[in-house]
Amino acid sequence: MWAVIKIEKKKLNFFTEDLKKKLGKNFIIYNPKVLIQKYKNNKLISSELELLGDYLFCFHKDFKNPITINKLKFIRGLKYILAGFVQSQKEINNFVKKCKRSENDKGFISANFLNLKENTNYKFASGPFANIIFKIISSQKNKIDILMGNLKTSIDKRKFLINPA
């Protein structure tokens, strides 16, 4: 069963160590990340960004039991465990599966994570066109026809990270 947990980013190592002490080694932590590339002073700078910020997913078979959750309340690095995760298992499972499907070979979420809509404005989050707004004209499997101002061009959907504008 998946739980949604808010942590202190600086104390992630303490959190995982204490989780091993309380639950053993049979738990899974999943924290989807995005690789953002920007040009700064004519140099390409890459940085990792957690998709969910301070939140992460943790899977363990005993999370159904409230006693197990109460044991975890005072772990170092834990801010809180999001309430209602038991009732939302289907949605959490679908989201985790969608994130894992859209990961590239390095484990980062790729651009095909979003459902792109035609005639909608988006903004590049990576690459040479970072922070430039464009409009999607048409979308195919791996190619998008876009309009940036008066310039119409095609880009590879897998190479750029796109955010809604």
122 shares its domain with 69: no
CB-count burial class (<10 Å; 0-12, 13-18, 19+) for 134: buried
46 shares its domain with 93: yes
Specify the CATH number for the domain of residue 143: 2.30.30
Does pLDDT of 155 surpass 70? yes
As for how many domains the chain has, the answer is 2
pLDDT at 156: 84
Specify the CATH number for the domain of residue 84: 3.30.70.940
pLDDT at 112: 63
Of 81, 101, 121, the last residue of a domain is 101
Q: 109 falls in which pLDDT band (50, 70, 90)?
A: confident
- Output DSSP code: residue 41: T
Q: Which residue range forms the structural domain that includes residue 46? A: 2-101
106 in any annotated domain: no
Of 66, 101, 136, the last residue of a domain is 101
31 shares its domain with 51: yes
* Residues 18-46: tens digit of each pLDDT: 999 999 889 999 999 988 777 778 887 88
41 shares its domain with 79: yes
pLDDT at 58: 95
56-60, 81-85, 110-114, range with the lowest pLDDT: 110-114
Tell me how far apart the terminal alpha carbons of the chain are, to the nearest angstrom. 35
- Letter string b/e over residues 14-36, b meaning 16 or more CB atoms within 10 A of that residue's CB: ebeebbeeebeeebeeebbbbbb
Residue in this structure with the two tokens 């301070």, named with its chain if needed: 54
12 shares its domain with 70: yes
Contacts of 21 (CB under 8 A, 6+ apart): none
pLDDT at 31: 93
Over residues 133-150, mean pLDDT: 89
